Amino acid sequence: MKSLLDKSLIKKNGNIQKIIDGVICAPKPQSLSQQYLWQSLINEKIDNKTAKKLNDELDILRKKYDCGLIDGPVPSSRKELVLKELDNLKIDAYIVTITDEFQSEYMPDTARRLYWLTGFSGSAGFAVIGKTKSAIFSDGRYTVQMAEQVDTNDYELCHSVKDPLEKWVNSSYQKGSRIGFNSTTMSDKKARLIKDKLKNIGVELVPINKDPIDTVWKNKPERPISPIQKHPIKYAGASTNEKYKKLKNILKNNNADIAISCLPDCLCWLFNIRAGDVPSTPFVQGYMAITNDEIHLFIDLLKLPSDLKLPAKIHCFDNFYEFLNTLSGKTVLLDSETAPYKAGQILREVGAIIIDKIDICLIPKSCKNEVEIAGARQAHIVDGVAMVKFLYWIDKNVKSGKLTELSCAKKLNEIRFEHTDMRDLSFYPISAFGSNGAICHYRVTEKTSKPITMNDLYLIDSGGQYEYGTTDITRTIAIGKINSEQRDRFTRVLKGLIALHKIKFPDGSSGMNLDIIARQFLYEGGFNFEHGTGHGVGSYLSVHEGPAQISTRSNSVHLKSGMIFSNEPGYYKNGEYGIRIENLFVVTQPDTSCETPMMGFENLTWCPIDKKAIDVSMLQVEERKWLNDYHKTTFEKLSPHIDDVDILNWLKNATQEI
């Protein structure tokens, strides 16, 4: 690695080796404009020629980087290594979480312990590895994926809802057994809930501070290092000071001395900063402690360029738990759903007064200001044009027989990155044809990629990260002729999407109140889907944002104006095909002209919905009108940004009235 830098630079900056190691273990920025930013951390003047050489040699090191993550069944020897460690810890079994220290869906390689151990790459689930039995758990979205990726000789496959952990433990382990867990990667609420349930069956849950997987994982990646960048006020719409004032009011209203925040997107929002610690999401990993006088920020100090000054007292990330030990007698706002168990454990031990409330930043962050909403509108115009170019490309080339799921995903990425404002994907595209579409969160690889043939459905779920907004869109299109059953299911999904788009609701409504509106037409036919109808979306942050959601799951968080959600009903027939249509919308201000002020949704996503897949006879007059109006507006918004006559004619045809 020393070949990357002049010896004199290494002497000047002893952290260069650590920076390089961390940069290699962070996701490589997909936008060319972002790929040189890491060099700002060296804090030395670098000419253009040297800068290019540094990047070229860094790419060579990236290609050599192999941390042992395998998509699919992994060697049983990994399980055996971890089992040996359990003896040293004096425990009978160990819970392997899918989350990291930040309860994040998107994680750096160093935190992907479940994936390393089992080969399961889904975004929800956990495993129990033990001397008596071992199992892996996930929900209905991932049952097919688990069966394909996990060796059933090593792990029993369990549905986390139908076969809950405590039921499985009760049938697999004797009373008096001790089951460990990583106290920093499981939330305080979840750990205490599991602890109580296991206690009822005579099993002890034991917090472990050193994960046994970290001990045996050969070539385990370092923590990621990516440079922190300012997020301009012209996109953020509010300064750190303005946001801090809101948070101090929340502290005051709760008679609290301090609030602990353990979510990277909250940190990024408050300080108007972004980075690249995790894939597809411009996060800076770190924690915060917010008081009436100052903000304490806990991050890796190597990520801070020397010319970036933040209005906070900055600490090394590893000093966070030491800081919590100083809060004896303080009244602390702590979100037990997002804070690690270890944080709650320390606060209870030192005698802090804990007020368990939603993270102090979550609701203010999710209620976008006018600047952020304007940015979301802009992002969806840019993204809609990219989608139209992609759909035209498929239409033009599909009969060649050369298209595959993987080539389609790569083409869409290529089209998106043609725009200079594109920073990253908002997630890895779900490019799924035929039976692969039935896997809700399918991830295409060289191994799984299917050819796109005629007379079936193709599902593409994708999105982009633009500096002014985050997008997420799904379109399912008919390739050739599809059968009457597929048309029926597609139309039921479309009717649900339209119904949710059109709904009005009073302040105080939760997403659970609205979810059935999108499912009603599927329910009428005896069908359902196992994922939520809508998730929150950040502003150049996470494509999956809390705290509100539109789902069958109980959620007390009310929908508020400025929150951005997805609207994505679907239908999945295992082994045959899948359908999902997804737009984003933003909650509007209450209409005070009504007797009861009503809110609704303003559509953000503009892209044709495939008319060839619709059974028009199933649509009511108002539904046809909505679709025709939607397509008319789609053409009006996107056509000025399309110069190619052939693509423009395709869009005109795709948005014609039905």
Residue 452 has pLDDT above 70, yes or no: yes
Whether residue 60 is found in the same domain as residue 108: no
In a domain, 222, yes or no: no
Burial degree of 46 (CB within 10 A; 0-12, 13-18, 19+): middle
Q: Whole-prediction pTM value?
A: 0.94
Domain endpoint, select from 330, 361, 392: 361
Q: What is the mean pLDDT of residues 575-588?
A: 98
Whether residue 135 is found in the same domain as residue 276: no
pLDDT of residue 1: 40
pLDDT of residue 319: 98
Whether residue 584 is found in the same domain as residue 649: yes
Closest CA to 314 of 267, 279, 254: 267
d(CA 385, CA 473): 12
Q: Give the relative orientation of helices 188-200 and 165-172 as an angle to the nearest 10 degrees.
A: 40
CA distances to 168, 252, 594 from 123, in Å = 21, 37, 42
Q: What is the mean pLDDT of residues 227-235?
A: 97
Residue located via tokens 């809390």: 546
Under the banding of pLDDT at 50, 70 and 90, the label for residue 143 is: confident
Q: What is the mean pLDDT of residues 553-568?
A: 94
User: What percent of the chain is predicted at pLDDT more than 70?
Assistant: 98
Query: E strands along 134-224, which residues?
Result: 135-138, 156-159, 178-182, 204-208
Residue 308's contacts (CB-CB under 8 Å, 6 or more residues apart) are 228, 229, 230, 273
Under the banding of pLDDT at 50, 70 and 90, the label for residue 3 is: low
Burial degree of 454 (CB within 10 A; 0-12, 13-18, 19+): exposed
d(CA 551, CA 561): 18
Residue 345 has pLDDT above 90, yes or no: yes
Whether residue 377 is found in the same domain as residue 470: yes
Q: What is the mean pLDDT of residues 519-534?
A: 97
d(CA 228, CA 288): 16
In a domain, 69, yes or no: no
Q: Which amino acid is at 278?
A: V
pLDDT of residue 479: 98
d(CA 398, CA 19): 45
Could you tell me the two tokens for 585? 């919308």
pLDDT of residue 109: 95
> Which range of residues forms the domain containing residue 320?
229-361
Could you tell me the two tokens for 451? 């050819």
| 431, 408 contact by CB (below 8 A) | yes
Residue 245 has pLDDT above 50, yes or no: yes
Q: How far is CA 158 from the centre of its chain?
A: 23
When the pLDDT of each residue in the chain is averaged and rounded to a whole number, the result is: 95
d(CA 33, CA 401): 35
314 DSSP assignment: E
pLDDT of residue 13: 60
Whether residue 341 is found in the same domain as residue 420: no
Burial degree of 31 (CB within 10 A; 0-12, 13-18, 19+): middle
In a domain, 221, yes or no: no
pLDDT of residue 4: 52
d(CA 14, CA 19): 10
In a domain, 223, yes or no: no
Residue 520 has pLDDT above 90, yes or no: yes
* Total number of domains in the chain: 4
Could you tell me the two tokens for 163? 């076969």
Whether residue 354 is found in the same domain as residue 374: no
d(CA 279, CA 425): 9
In a domain, 397, yes or no: yes
Whether residue 54 is found in the same domain as residue 158: no
Residue 390 has pLDDT above 80, yes or no: yes
- Report pLDDT digits (tens) over 75-94: 999 999 999 999 999 999 99
In a domain, 434, yes or no: yes
| 631, 381 contact by CB (below 8 A) | no
In a domain, 523, yes or no: yes
Whether residue 157 is found in the same domain as residue 251: no
Query: E strands along 311-437, which residues?
Result: 313-316, 331-334, 353-356, 422-425, 430-433
Domain endpoint, select from 216, 243, 274: 216
Residue 14 has pLDDT above 80, yes or no: no
First to last CA, the chain: 62
Q: What is the mean pLDDT of residues 490-507?
A: 97
**Sign of the Cα pseudo-torsion (211, 213, 218, 220, in order):** negative
In a domain, 99, yes or no: yes
Whether residue 15 is found in the same domain as residue 89: no
Whether residue 46 is found in the same domain as residue 90: no
Under the banding of pLDDT at 50, 70 and 90, the label for residue 503 is: very high
454 φψ region: left (φ > 0), alpha (ψ -120 to 50), beta (else): beta
Residue 72 has pLDDT above 90, yes or no: no
Phi first, then psi, for residue 555 (nearest 5°) are -150, 120
Q: What is the mean pLDDT of residues 121-125?
A: 88
Q: What is the DSSP string of 422-463?
A: EEEESS--EEEEGGGGGSTT----TTTPPB--SSEEEEEEE-
Q: Is 336 strand, coil or helix?
A: coil
User: What percent of the chain is predicted at pLDDT more than 90?
Assistant: 90
- Report pLDDT digits (tens) over 17-37: 899 999 999 999 988 889 999
Whether residue 182 is found in the same domain as residue 153: yes
Whether residue 246 is found in the same domain as residue 183: no
Residue 500 has pLDDT above 80, yes or no: yes
Domain endpoint, select from 164, 190, 216: 216
Could you tell me the two tokens for 178? 């001790």
Q: What is the mean pLDDT of residues 413-420?
A: 97
* Domain at 167, CATH number: 3.40.350.10
